[in-house]
Amino acid sequence: MTPRSAHGGHGTETVPHAPVFVGETRARLEGLFGKYPTRQACLLPALWMVQEERGWISEPAIEEVAGVLDLTPAYVKGVVTFYTMYHTHPVGRHFIQVCTTSPCNICGAEDVARALVEKTGCRELGATSPDGRFTVVEVECLGACGFPTPILVDDDFVEDVTPDKVAAILERYT
Amino acid sequence: MGYPHPSHPKETVVLSKYFGDAGARSFDGWVQRGGYEGLRKALGMSREAIVEEVKASGLRGRGGAGFPTGLKWSFMPKDVAKPHYLVCNADESEPGTFKDREIMRWTPHALIEGCAIAAYAIGSERCYIYIRGEFTEPWRVMSAAVGEAYAAGALGESAFGSGRRIDVVLHRGAGAYICGEETGMMNSLEGKRGNPRIKPPFPAVSGVFGMPTTVNNVETLAAVPHILVRGAEWYKGLCLGNPKSTGTKLISVCGHIQRPGNYEVTMGTPVKDILYEMAGGPRPGRTFKAVIPGGSSVPIMTREEAEEALFDYEGIVAKGSMLGSAGMIVMDDTTDMVYQIWRLARFYAHESCAQCTQCREGTAWTTKVLERILSGKGKQEDFQLLLDLSEQMTGKTICVLSDSCAAPVVSGIQKFRSEFEAYMTGSRQPSMAAV
Ligand SMILES: Cc1cc2nc3c(=O)[nH]c(=O)nc-3n(C[C@H](O)[C@H](O)[C@H](O)COP(=O)(O)O)c2cc1C
Ligand code: SF4
Ligand code: FES
């Protein structure tokens, strides 16, 4: 069998993509079809399902989503890249978002961001720690400005974070 | 209640009465607290009568623009020849604002009830609640509550046995401030990039999926059941300032303040009472320098302007700013205004959807010029450059994100010019490496 050429013509795909939308996940997606007048409207929910299962959204996953929803891969990619919460690259086991927008900024958010980078070993914002445990990114307002500084660790929203609390918070995530 | 603090006697608790009370989250708990009376009553009224009641209450949109809610509903076609949609805007991303989050976390059924009433009033069988992707906890609470509302028959094929279909669908955003703009939200719901649309056509004519649509904020919709139960006259009577601003308003107070949190006040309450009495005033030994009263998209007020203002739509305008989303950002005398204005400009540059040249280029260049000033390389001419950019960015684009970036810049230069000059003359050390 001739290997299918990969995206953009670089190299060939040697490891086949294991489909996301089979079994229960397929059923969950199809359960949404009746809630919207178009299939396309299920694109954001479908992308969330991919990310929940795989941790990020790869090119083959984009092609799969496109196929399932009758869209083109280029179109789906355009949508994926518009939204900051979809990962187009693999990230650490735990993904940490820290707000540094003005209301939090004046309450010391940059110090919290620095402490997170230091204590996770990520070395810089946006990077993943060498042990693959954490990725830390700086984000804009998380809608919890009265609880400075809020961070989001995976799906856990943590309020009132100060640099001295960072180490204890990280311990909860292995 | 001044969540997360105890209620202050000067607050008027309507929407926030059960914040912090976990018992109010369940369907039964909500019914025990008087919940779903408004929906039951609404289902016995005509669509027109509900719209008239809301019009008479004086309720205005709490999402930022302050548009009269009843009037907005009345723009929807009378005959339902094709599907009508209600979209609830739960994208709350305006820096300084965190009130919708608390409504969803503590009183999810208040929102569901408001959505159901509004959907019926505008001739819609389906409401989409668009919740920002980062709101993981509100999402969980809302999902559970929607499930309970269906199980109890408040939603579904025949809401409370009325024969009217009302569905509520939760839709999760994925990180984009611009999806809070109503037409960007409609595109996002359709599975597209969240680019705002040119108006007209207005949503009531052609909105989500090309159908007549009404978009309302979480707090707006949560107020509706109270209006139906207690009457438009009662709501209109909640007014200390002028009759154009009625009801209660949740104010998110944050920044350099002793007790940050949400405070619910009658429209027209003096800002001074909110800052010093409810929220506890400045930190020990500090004084306030500036207040941004309506989320980051409105002009910055000096302490004096803020202290003289009454908190309602007209009262804040009279003192040079806007009520916006009522996210009140308080800055004390330790604040580097130039740095914070830069931080806000960077926010808008990051969030611009880049469709309009003035916005895409303007937000980016504003950020860069501010960086030059912060690095000690600014020149006097930079004032004019920033003001010219802001002028180009105001009133010329598809949505007002561009104008929102200009607001803190222009007001910042007007009111805190000496802080910019300190960087230019070198009397203040650079706070950023040269770019
Ligand atoms: C850039 C931008 C962001 C916005 N973000 C929000 C938001 O997060 N939540 C919201 O309710 N309204 C937001 N709005 C206002 C909405 O476009 C719309 O006016 C509002 O949801 C209407 O509801 P209301 O009439 O009940 O206020 C935003 C507007 C703009 C221009
Ligand atoms: S003003 Fe900015 S955010 Fe709004 S549509 Fe234009 S480019 Fe997009
Ligand atoms: S500014 Fe940090 S949560 Fe809003």
pLDDT one-digit tens code per residue, B18-48: 999 999 999 999 999 999 999 999 999 999 9
- Indicate whether residue B178 lines ligand 2 (CB < 6 A): yes
Task: Give the model's pLDDT for residue A9.
Answer: 47
Mutate to test the pocket of ligand 1, among B94, B177, B363 (most ligand atoms within 8 A of CB): B94
Compute how many other C-beta atoms are within 10 angstroms of the C-beta atom of residue A150.
Answer: 25
Q: Is residue B290 left, alpha or beta, with left meaning phi > 0 and alpha meaning psi from -120 to 50?
A: beta
Count CB pairs under 8 A between chains A and B: 143
Say if the Cβ atoms of A141 and B94 lie within 8 Å: yes
Mutate to test the pocket of ligand 3, among A101, A112, A152 (most ligand atoms within 8 A of CB): A101
Query: Does residue B274 sit at the A interface (CB-CB below 8 Å)?
Result: no
**Residues A114-159: pLDDT tens digits?**
999 999 999 999 999 999 999 999 999 999 999 999 999 999 999 9
Contact between residue B225 and residue B110 where contact means Cβ atoms under 8 Å apart: yes
Token output for B72: 């907005």
Nearest-atom number in ligand 2 for the CA of B359 is: 2
Compute how many other C-beta atoms are within 10 angstroms of the C-beta atom of residue B177.
Answer: 25
Which 3-state string (H, E, C) describes chain B?
CCCCCCCCCCCCCCCCCCCCCHHHHCHHHHHHCCCCHHHHHHHCCCHHHHHHHHHHHCCECCCCCCCEHHHHHHCCCCCCCCCCEEEEEECCCCCCCCCHHHHHHHCHHHHHHHHHHHHHHCCCCEEEEEECCCCHHHHHHHHHHHHHHHHCCCCECCHHHCCCCEEEEEEECCCCHHHHCHHHHHHHHCCCCCCCCCCCCCCCCCCHHHCCEEEEEHHHHHHHHHHHHHCHHHHHHCCCCCCCCCCEEEEEEEECCCCCEEEEEECCEEHHHHHHHHCCCCCCCCCEEEEEECECCCCCEEHHHHHHCEECHHHHHHCCCCCCCCEEEEEECCCCHHHHHHHHHHHHHHHCCCCCHHHHHHHHHHHHHHHHHHCCCCCCHHHHHHHHHHHHHCCCCCCCHHHHHHHHHHHHHHHHHHHHHHHHHCCCCCCCCCC
Nearest-atom number in ligand 3 for the CA of A99 is: 2
Instruction: Decide if pLDDT at A41 tops 60.
Output: yes
Contact between residue B208 and residue B190 where contact means Cβ atoms under 8 Å apart: yes
Number of H helices, E strands in chain A: 7, 4
Secondary structure letter of residue A23 according to DSSP: H
Q: What is the CA radius of gyration of chain B?
A: 22
Token output for B315: 């009262």
Is omega for the bond preceding B201 within 30 degrees of 0, making it cis?
Answer: yes
Task: Give the model's pLDDT for residue A13.
Answer: 55
Residue-level pLDDT, tens digit, chain B, 435 residues: 468 888 999 999 999 999 999 999 999 999 999 999 999 999 999 999 999 999 999 999 999 999 999 999 999 999 988 999 999 999 999 999 999 999 999 999 999 999 999 999 999 999 999 999 999 999 999 999 999 999 999 999 999 999 999 999 999 999 999 999 999 999 999 999 999 999 999 999 999 999 999 999 999 999 999 999 999 999 999 999 899 999 999 999 999 999 999 999 999 999 999 999 999 999 999 999 999 999 999 999 999 999 999 999 999 999 999 999 999 999 999 999 999 999 999 999 999 999 999 999 999 999 999 999 999 999 999 999 999 999 999 999 999 999 999 999 999 999 999 999 999 999 999 998 876
Report the distance separating Cα B133 and Cα B141, nearest Å: 14
Contact between residue A88 and residue A51 where contact means Cβ atoms under 8 Å apart: no
Interface with A, mutate which of B254, B286, B288, B353 (most A CBs under 10 A) = B254
Task: Give the model's pLDDT for residue A6.
Answer: 45
- Indicate whether residue B401 lines ligand 1 (CB < 6 A): yes
Q: 3-class SS at A90?
A: coil
* pTM assigned to the model: 0.96
Report the distance separating Cα B230 and Cα B245, nearest Å: 18
Which is it for strands B288-292 and B327-332: parallel, antiparallel or unpaired? antiparallel
Say if the Cβ atoms of A141 and B137 lie within 8 Å: no
Task: Give the model's pLDDT for residue A16.
Answer: 87
Report the distance separating Cα B34 and Cα B211, nearest Å: 34
Element (H, E) at A99: strand A94-99
Token output for A152: 């989001």
Q: Which of B98, B329, B343 sits opposite A143 (nearest CB)?
A: B98
Report the distance separating Cα A120 and Cα A132, nearest Å: 10
Report the distance separating Cα A119 and Cα A129, nearest Å: 10
Cα–Cα distance list, B276 to B10, B37, B111, B189, B292 (Å): 12, 37, 31, 42, 16
